[in-house]
Structures are given as C-alpha cells and as structure tokens.
Copies of this chain bind each other. A is one copy, B any other.
Amino acid sequence: MARDKAETKARILAAVGKLLAESGFKSLGVNAIAREAGVDKVLIYRYFDGLPMLLRQFAQAGDYWLTMEALVGDESAVEASTLTDWMTYLLLEFMGDLQERSITQEILRWELLEGNELTNELAQVRDQLALDSLKFLKSKGEFPEGQDVPAISAVLIAGVVYLTLRAKIHRTFLGIDFSSPQGWQRIESALASIIQSTLQEQECS
C-alpha cells in the first residue's frame, strides 16, 4: 500500500460510512472498520486516537440532513402560499429526504440506544434545522392561537422518523403496508390532513 497518511485517514473515514450504511452500528468496531478500509487497526488508534474520536471526526464531516437552503433556497420554485402549505411541504420534504439517507437513519437508530459523539452531533443539527423551519414558518403566517405548533411539529416529526426507521425492518405497522408506495401515500395524506386541520383558524364553532 502506498504510504499516504491522508489517503489512509480518508479510507478509514469512508469505511465508517460504508459500514454504517450497510451493516448498521452494531457491527461498527475497530476491527470491522480496519478490515473494511483494508488498513491495520493500529492506525485507527494512531491517527484518530480511538473509536470515539474517529466518530467525532466522522460526525464533523457530516451531511446528515437537508439544509433550509436546499429546502427553500428558491422560494419561488415552491408552490406554497399559506402557512399550512408551507408546513406540509417542509414535513413531506423532510420525510422523503430522510428515506434516502441510510447513514442518518442508522444514527437515529443508534440515538435510541445510547448517546455518543455521532448522535449528539446529529441531534444538534436536527434541532437547529427544526428551529430554523419554525422561524421560517412564522414568517409565512401567524401561528393559530391556542395551538402549540412546536409541540405539534415534534409529534409529527417523531412519527415520521419512527415510521421510517421501522419500515426498514418490518413491512407493516398497524395494518398499513410500508413496502408499497400506497402505504406511504396514506401517511403523506394523513400528515397533510393533520396539518391542514390543526393549523386552520377555526372561525366557526
């Protein structure tokens, strides 16, 4: 092997991503990483000072969520006018994006079992994204009185995350089939419907 420290470090970092995406965090150990990278494990200790520091470094390179920029960078391209439209748009985009991100899903699974360098980093960026989204939404229209929009968002996002994580393991949940686009279609409609009903001002009792 060519003696190239930078290259070796890159291979190790890449191996972390590949293992996470393909086999999950369960099998993410020093030995497995070294094997995957085709590198001696002692280099992990030498270059990264152990697994925790390696994970921290991996986290920093992270690109685990879409950004507000990518979401609404060009507002005019999005067909949404009302607060309801925007919130629906953001949540469905978030869901679609999450489904594509194997690594992010894996870190979210991890987060349910223990906190570590990776999950903390991910959680921080996620919360920031949610905060930005809420601020953005506020600019699109006043939140209805008496509705705790952050709490409602938390419930819906939590639901989306759970369904996404679970769908990778089990086909169905509560009788809904998540192996078919129809199942996801029902969830999308349900989300849209919930947002619409909940955010709409109730002028008549």
Residues on A lying within 8 angstroms of B by beta carbon are: 24, 26, 109, 111-115, 123, 126-127, 130-131, 146-148, 150-163, 165-166, 169-170, 172-176, 186-187, 189-191, 193-194, 197-198, 200, 202-204
Q: A151-B189, A151-B190 are in contact. Are A169 and B123 (CB under 8 A)?
A: no
Residues of the B chain whose Cβ atoms lie less than 8 Å from the Cβ of A174? 126-127, 130-131, 150, 153-154, 157
Give the docked Cα–Cα distance between A21 and B73 (Å): 46
A172 smallest CB distance to B (angstroms) = 8
Interface pair A187/B151, CB less than 8 Å apart: yes
Collect the chain B residues with CB atoms within 8 Å of residue A194's CB.
152, 155, 194, 197-198
Chain B residue with Cβ nearest A166 = B112
Would you mind naming 8 contact pairs between A and B with Cβ atoms under 8 Å apart?
A26-B113, A111-B166, A150-B175, A154-B163, A155-B191, A158-B163, A159-B159, A161-B162
- Separation of A85 and B114 alpha carbons in the complex (Å): 36
**Bound state CA distance, A165 and B160, in angstroms?**
14
- C-alpha gap A80/B189 in the complex (Å): 28
B175 contacts A130, CB within 8 Å?
Answer: yes
Chain B residues with CB below 8 A from A24, complex form:
113
**A187 → B minimal CB distance (Å):** 6
A142–chain B nearest beta-carbon distance, Å: 17
